[in-house]
A and B are shown apart, each in its own frame.
Chain A
Amino acid sequence: MRNNKLTPYLFLLPGCLILGAFIFYPMLQAIWLSFTDYNMIHDPSFVKLDNYTELFQDPLFWKTLTNTLIYLVGVVPALVIIPIFLAVLVNQKLKGIAFFRSAFYIPVVTSLVVAGIAWDWVYKENGLLNYVLDLLNIISEPIPWLTSTHTALFAVMVVTVWKGLGYYMIIYLAGLQSIPDSLYEAADIDGANWWQKMTRITIPMLMPFVLIVTIMSSIAAMKVFEEIYVMTGGGPLHSSETLVFYIYTQAFDRLNMGYASAAGVILFLLTLVFSLINLKVMGKDNSE
């Protein structure tokens, strides 16, 4: 038995080097940078809590934070609830159901740039959405969805939901297929109808998956960036600007690296709550 004491560490080495170089060290550096003034020209200079006090006095920071929370509150319930029904729908034993599953999943695999361009076209003043709403007599004149301060954020939220539905549907589908058929058979014998089976069996049995989806979609919503970057650029008048977009522009357009890092630390603290719950859930699964 040649079991060298070093063996386990050798296996761990490549992965740990990567995590060290691209997560742990940057993490410490980000925290350090958040206490400095750094523009990539001069060396970082220590400014104590200045970035944080400045951040809390910046109306734009509060605006982007509010927008991010609106995003979260709007997107998460839709992404938690609608995919349950989609999963039930594609779990039916019907001819061609695999085709529909795949069709619902297509937005998940396409890049947000393509999705953004496609939806831009839907949202135009003389685009599809205004036309449909006009046909249904819901609106009397076209709404400039992406260029109005009232609608831009919501219009982008719809794209996030649309792109995420298929993914969460599959998670629920995995959940549905783990429910024993015997439960439904027993319910059939008792003469339960569709709705009773849904509320008494399906939804309670899916609760662990509801929790997973809630956490995953919440963390994703807190970090939303690409949809905004591609579709509205944060506009008009910052009305659709989110926290990560703010961090990005502060860091890479204005080179306020220290200030942007402070905003990044705030983002980290906000997502931490969700991540801790997530870890707990994973830990529970793991010990079973």
Chain B
Amino acid sequence: MANQNKSTTYRKIVKKISLYILLIAVTLFMIGPFLWLLSTALKSGSENIFQYPPKLLPEDPTLGNFSTVMEVFPFWRYLFNSAVVAVLTVVLNVLFCSLAAYPLARMNFKGKNIIFVLIIATMMIPFQLLMIPVYLISLKLGLQNTYLGMVLPHVTTAFGVFLMRQAFMTVPKSLDESARMDGANSFQIWLRVLMPLVKPAMVTLTIFTFVSAWGDFLWPLIIVNDNDMYTLPLGLNMLSGTFTSDWRLIAAGAVISMIPIITIFLLLQRFFIGGAMKGAIKG
């Protein structure tokens, strides 16, 4: 009997160790390319970065590449642009989607179903088809090289309306009714009663929108041609196109431009992963 116990604990330990080995192997695959990038960024000018076999650890690690790249790569400007675009997109998207979702979840009115179906149907239209006319419209509206130009096409999404509508539908109707008895109008009910109760859905939508706005590349590439308005991905893309021969600089620029989003992610990882899980179930 004691023997059997021993063998089961033994088996448990083996299982645990093999799970950790597996986890570490996958982690290496997932973040390996970034570690490799970091290693290149830390290598000094005297070290041959193209040596074979490749070396992961820099012989003489230096931060010199980072200070050099900061001279040619207006990081702070790009970071500011990225932040403005992402924050504006998030705020407007959460606002417009929650506003639109409220009557769709709570009121009866003419055309409700058709409006809902039309909103959801927008999911079927790839932006890659729309980008040409949206570009032409944005030019006409004078939105080229502006924050609004980068933001406006993405500030209402079917996903957001759907998610917020689902969230509103879970709030008991009696809450609206008692607020209405107290003399609140629809807007006040939306703002004071419903919005505070759907915070988890708002967080989910915020994170989804933030990640896609922060990483967006295709649309800014089309609508922005002024370097001063570049977001981080566009700026980095230009850096790697301009300094093609200087791999250390490109690597340093890539590492620097990763820092903001990785920091935000690590601080809020609970929400990122929780939000993605909720989005998966609802969307």
A residues at B contact (CB < 8 Å): 1-3, 5, 7-9, 11-12, 14-16, 18-19, 21-27, 29-30, 33, 40, 86, 89-90, 92, 94, 97-98, 100-115, 117-119, 121-122, 124, 126-128, 131, 162, 165-167, 170-171, 173-175, 177-178, 209, 212, 219, 222-223, 225-226, 229-230, 244, 247-248, 251-252, 257, 260-261, 264-265, 267-268, 271-272, 275-276, 278-279, 282, 285-286
The distance from the CB of A285 to the nearest CB of chain B, in whole angstroms, is: 8
Chain B residue at minimal CB-CB distance from A269: B129
- Is the Cβ of B129 less than 8 Å from the Cβ of A128? no
A2-B185, A117-B37, A175-B280 are known contacts. Are A22 and B236 too (CB-CB below 8 A)? no
Other 18 A-B pairs with CB < 8 A, given A178-B281, A282-B283: A9-B109, A12-B115, A15-B161, A22-B134, A27-B129, A29-B137, A30-B133, A103-B31, A110-B261, A126-B50, A170-B277, A174-B280, A177-B277, A223-B127, A223-B128, A230-B237, A257-B132, A267-B126
The distance from the CB of B132 to the nearest CB of chain A, in whole angstroms, is: 5
Q: Is B240 an interface residue (CB 8 A)?
A: yes
- Is the Cβ of B273 less than 8 Å from the Cβ of A126? no
Selecting from B2-10, B60-68, B116-124, B195-203, the interface stretch reads: B116-124
Complex A-B: 10 CB contacts under 8 Å: A92-B19, A100-B23, A106-B34, A106-B265, A110-B262, A118-B33, A219-B126, A222-B126, A271-B124, A282-B162
Main SS of chain B's interface residues? Answer: helix
Q: Is B69 an interface residue (CB 8 A)?
A: no
Task: Give Cα A5–Cα B125 distance, bound, in whole angstroms.
Answer: 31
Task: Give Cα A30–Cα B124 distance, bound, in whole angstroms.
Answer: 15
- Which residues from A are CB-within-8-Å of B283? 282
The distance from the CB of A122 to the nearest CB of chain B, in whole angstroms, is: 5
- Is the Cβ of A275 less than 8 Å from the Cβ of B136? no
- Is the Cβ of A15 less than 8 Å from the Cβ of B99? yes
- Is the Cβ of A225 less than 8 Å from the Cβ of B132? no
Contact code string B255-283 (vs A, CB < 8 Å = 1, else 0):
00110011001100100110011101111
Task: Give Cα A284–Cα B27 distance, bound, in whole angstroms.
Answer: 36
Q: Is B36 an interface residue (CB 8 A)?
A: yes
Main SS of chain A's interface residues? Answer: helix
- B residues 93-148 near A (Cβ < 8 Å) are 95-97, 99-100, 102-104, 107, 109, 112, 115, 118-137
- Is the Cβ of A260 less than 8 Å from the Cβ of B233? no
- Is the Cβ of B236 less than 8 Å from the Cβ of A29? no
A33-B132, A170-B277 are known contacts. Are A89 and B23 too (CB-CB below 8 A)? yes
Q: Is B58 an interface residue (CB 8 A)?
A: no
Q: Is B44 an interface residue (CB 8 A)?
A: no
Query: Which of A5, A19, A260, A268 has the largest number of chain B CB atoms within 10 A?
Result: A19
Task: Give Cα A8–Cα B218 distance, bound, in whole angstroms.
Answer: 35
Chain B residue at minimal CB-CB distance from A250: B132
Q: Is B53 an interface residue (CB 8 A)?
A: yes
- Is the Cβ of A113 less than 8 Å from the Cβ of B30? no
Q: Is B74 an interface residue (CB 8 A)?
A: no
- Is the Cβ of A226 less than 8 Å from the Cβ of B217? yes
- Which residues from B are CB-within-8-Å of A100? 23, 26-27
Task: Give Cα A254–Cα B121 distance, bound, in whole angstroms.
Answer: 31
- Is the Cβ of A15 less than 8 Å from the Cβ of B37? no
Query: Which of B119, B128, B250 has the largest number of chain A CB atoms within 10 A?
Result: B128
Query: Which of B23, B222, B251 has the largest number of chain A CB atoms within 10 A?
Result: B23
Query: Which of A5, A109, A173, A223 has the largest number of chain B CB atoms within 10 A?
Result: A109
Contact of B102 among A11, A126, A247 (CB under 8 A): A11
The distance from the CB of B69 to the nearest CB of chain A, in whole angstroms, is: 13
Contact code string B226-255 (vs A, CB < 8 Å = 1, else 0):
000000111011001000000100110010
- Is the Cβ of B254 less than 8 Å from the Cβ of A117? yes
Task: Give Cα A104–Cα B236 distance, bound, in whole angstroms.
Answer: 23
Task: Give Cα A166–Cα B276 distance, bound, in whole angstroms.
Answer: 10
- Which residues from B are CB-within-8-Å of A223? 126-128
- Which residues from B are CB-within-8-Å of A127? 54
